[in-house]
Structure 1
């Protein structure tokens, strides 16, 4: 992509074509080596390779994706550096002290929810897979409650979105990590109970890592993000509608 995004205007959405930025085989070789040698000495000796084959292509890819998202996810448009996730692991509370993640990743949160995440768009590249996802994952308690409250009266809309034929042809339901019992305060006989018991809602596509080397990798990401946009908007709806945490209440059966 030529030039930088101008976030003060609304440019024409990017047209995905064969000359769009993508990774080279050297990127996968670096990630395979990092997986075997996850230490600072190995990484620092190859930092130039990381910058050239992973970080710089990643930023170009993120700019191109964000340019396209202006058309269907304007609330998620942000500079590439803000979407790029750090490759450095937070090891403070982990028994695994490996200093680096073995993947490069990006997350587009909604700008109004940037400090608390909410629902958004995600992709990562590791040495073994190229993953594209959209939804809300591991939300904090107040967001989890807000979405569950919303589902009491809007569950049919979510079912329709999750069952969309075009979306389900290219993405699968993300593991919902469901509770075994109804959350406290929610009726056990409610028709939305199966959805309410979930702790995350989203869709995922897992492709071979080599798919990220293809010139049309941007099309693979953008087309899926576009199809998942109504789902992301639905999940963010109750989070954006109130600036205060949802209150836990008991709900009568319909």
Structure 2
């Protein structure tokens, strides 16, 4: 019989819901084994399956599941919010040359409320932002075509661009790429119903969206990767 694709269980979603209500170390530590078996291990299996799909269309973004997975622990060092745990499980895939920067990549998270799939460049550094803007002066039509694609608009309908009100320094208002140069980030996303998380369709719903926007991620990353030597393979 064909193997059922990995997905999360109702117990995993319940754990995340209870964590929302009991976000403290004593509660979590008493249930750490439950988190490992019901949430973390199944999530890593989902990420490995997503890796297999990424290898088909974005092989440079494949990362071991444990490296793609984001920590459940919040960084509270500089935050007024001292709750120690995130209330979703998440993952981020980027190229090996940009994984420690804010370059483009693919993202997914599952909470007790929904599934969010996203891709693109989010909160780039000033240096990266300048490189991308200069790149878009020559490739604006290509990116605009992707953003206006009926397939992408259906699968990833939300664009988070955090636009400026005025053109950035060094760029002219009449630049043919002006609408894209005003952006401070280029991130597409889709919010899926919670039942997707506990369905065998989970991996496919993530992968088909990643596949659709992979050319956009590659376009935005091109100026950031130019001239960088790839690191040794992680496998």
CA–CA distance in structure 2, aligned partners of residues 18 and 130 of structure 1: 23
Q: Deviation digits for residues 198-236 of structure 1, max 9, x if unmatched? A: 111121110122211011111101111111111111111
Shift of 1:159: 0.2
Shift of 1:193: 1.2
Q: 2:129 aligns with which of 130, 144, 155?
A: 144
Q: Deviations over 1:103-162 (max 9, x none)?
A: 000000111212213110000001111000110100111111111111112110100111
Does 2:212 match 1:232? no
- The TM-score with structure 2 as length reference comes to 0.93
**Aligned counterparts of 1:108 and 1:136: Cα–Cα separation in 2:** 12
Instruction: Identify the residue that residue 33 of structure 2 maps to in structure 1.
Output: 48
Q: Is the 8 A contact 1:136 1:235 kept in 2?
A: yes
Are residue 102 (structure 1) and residue 91 (structure 2) matched? no
Which residue in 2 is equivalent to 1:201? 186
Q: Which 5+ residue runs of structure 2 have no aligned equivalent? A: 229-235
**Could you report, residue by residue, the CA deviation over 1:27-74 in whole angstroms, capped at 9, with x for unpaired residues?**
111111111111001111111111111100111111111011111001
Q: CA deviation at 1:18?
A: 6.6
Matched, 1:174 2:159: yes
CA distance in 2: counterparts of 1:61 and 1:127, whole angstroms: 17
Runs of 4 or more, structure 1, over 3 Å off, are none
TM-score, normalised to structure 1's length?
0.87
For residues 133 and 92 of structure 2, what CA distance do their matches in structure 1 show? 23
Q: Does 1:25 align with 2:10?
A: yes
Distance 1:58 1:141 in 2: 34
- The answer to whether the 8 Å contact 1:20/1:216 transfers is yes
- Taking the aligned partners of 2:179 and 2:94, their CA distance within structure 1 comes to 26
Note if 1:91 corresponds to 2:76.
Answer: yes
SS of the equivalent of 1:70 reads: helix
Where structure 1 has 5 or more consecutive residues not aligned to the other structure, the ranges are 1-16, 244-254
Question: Among residues 118, 121, 126, which one is paired with 1:133 in the alignment?
Answer: 118
The residue that corresponds to 1:241 in the other structure is 226
Select 1:219's aligned residue among 193, 204, 220.
204
Instruction: Give the alignment's Cα RMSD to 1 decimal.
Output: 1.2
